[in-house]
Amino acid sequence: MSSLKAESLKDRAAIVGVGKTPQGKVPGSTQLSLATGAFTAALEDSGLDKSEIDGLLTFPGTTAPEGPLNYLRVAETLGIDPAYTGSMSMGGGTAGALVQMAAMAVANGMATNVACVFGDAAKTGGSRFNRASGWGDSWGIWGMMGAAANSAIAASRHMALYGTTSEQLGEVAVACRRHASLNPDAVMRKPITIEDHQASRWIVEPLHLLDCCLISDGGVCVIVTSAERARARDLKQPPVFISGMGQAYTSRTLERPDWWYVPHQKDALDRAYAMAGVGPSDIDVAQLYDNFTISVLLWLEHAGFCGVGEAGPYVEGGRIQLGGDLPVNTAGGNLSESYMEGWLHIVEGVRQLRGDGGERQVDGAEVCLVTGRGMTLNCSNAMILSKDGLK
Partner 1 sequence: MSTYDKPLPELTEDNRPFWDGLRERSTLTMQKCDACGHIRYPIGRICPECLAPGGTWTGLSGRGEVLSRIVFHQVYNKAFADDVPYNVVLVQLDEGPRMFSNVVGVPNEDVRVGMRVRLHCDPVTAEVTIPRFVPEEP
Query: What is the C-alpha separation between 374 and 296, in angstroms, rounded?
Result: 13
Coil/strand/helix, residue 46: helix
> Which string of x and - marks every residue 184-213 that binds partner 1 (by CB under 8 A)?
-----------------xxxxxx-------
- Alpha carbon distances (Å) from 234 to 10, 22, 105, 114, 336: 22, 29, 22, 18, 35
Q: Which of 40, 52, 72, 156 binds partner 1 (CB under 8 A)?
A: 156
Q: Is 263 in the site for partner 1 (CB under 8 A)?
A: no
For the bound state, the minimum distance from the C-beta of residue 136 to partner 1, rounded and expressed in Å, comes to 5
Q: How far is the CB of 209 from partner 1 (least distance, A)?
A: 9
Contacts of 105 (CB under 8 A, 6+ apart): 55, 84, 111, 114
CB 309 within 8 A of CB 165: no
CB of 248 to partner 1, least distance (A): 18
- List residues bridging with 212 in a β-sheet: 292
Q: Which of 71, 162, 273, 339 is catalytic?
A: 339
- Under rule CB under 8 A, residue 72 binds partner 1: no
Q: Which is nearer to partner 1, 202 or 279 (CB)?
A: 202
End-to-end CA distance of the chain, in Å?
A: 25
> Does residue 134 belong to the site contacting partner 1 (CB under 8 A)?
yes
Which among 129-137, 183-191, 232-240, 296-304 is the span making contact with partner 1, rule CB under 8 A?
A: 129-137
Whether the CB-CB separation of 93 and 197 falls below 8 Å is answered with no
Among 130, 193, 236, 356, binds partner 1 (CB under 8 A): 130
In a 10 Å sphere around its CB, with 0-12 CB exposed, 13-18 middle and 19+ buried, how is residue 310 labelled? middle
* Catalytic status, residue 261: no
Q: Is the separation of the CB atoms in 103 and 111 below 8 Å?
A: no
Stretch that binds partner 1, among 2-10, 55-63, 131-139, 338-346 (CB under 8 A): 131-139
The residues near 196 (Cβ < 8 Å, ≥ 6 apart) are 210
Alpha-carbon distance of 203 to 133, in angstroms, equals: 18
**260 near partner 1, rule: CB under 8 A:** yes
Closest to partner 1 by CB, 134 vs 304, is 134
> CB under 8 A: which stretch of 144-152, 309-317, 344-352, 362-370 binds partner 1?
144-152
Cβ closer to partner 1: 65 or 163?
Answer: 163
Rounded CA separation 135/148 (Å):
18
User: Does 135 sit near partner 1 (CB under 8 A)?
Assistant: yes
Comparing CA positions, the residue from 304, 301, 266, 336 lying closest to residue 158 is 301
Nearer to partner 1, 140 or 309 (CB): 140
Which one of residues 160, 163, 191, 316 is an interface residue with partner 1 (CB under 8 A)?
160
Yes or no: say if 227 and 241 are a contact pair by the CB < 8 Å rule: yes
Site for partner 1 in 84-103 (CB under 8 A): none
Q: Least distance in Å: CB of 4 to partner 1? A: 23
Using CB under 8 A, pick the residue from 6, 72, 132, 194 that binds partner 1: 132
Rounded Cα gap, residues 139 and 131, in angstroms: 9
Cβ proximity to partner 1, 48 vs 122, nearer residue: 122
Residue 147 or 383: the one with the smaller Cβ distance to partner 1 is: 147
140 binds partner 1 (CB under 8 A): yes
Closest by Cα among 210, 241, 268, 227 to 92: 268
Q: Which one of the spans 86-94, 106-114, 254-262, 328-336 is the region binding partner 1 (CB under 8 A)?
A: 254-262
- Indicate if 289 belongs to the active site: yes
Per DSSP, the residues of 151-176 read HHHHHHHHHHHH---HHHHHHHHHHH
Query: Between residues 109 and 257, which has the closer beta carbon with respect to partner 1?
Result: 257
Catalytic residue set: 289, 339
Binding site for partner 1 (CB under 8 A): 130, 132, 134-146, 148-149, 152-154, 156-157, 160, 201-206, 252, 254-255, 257, 260
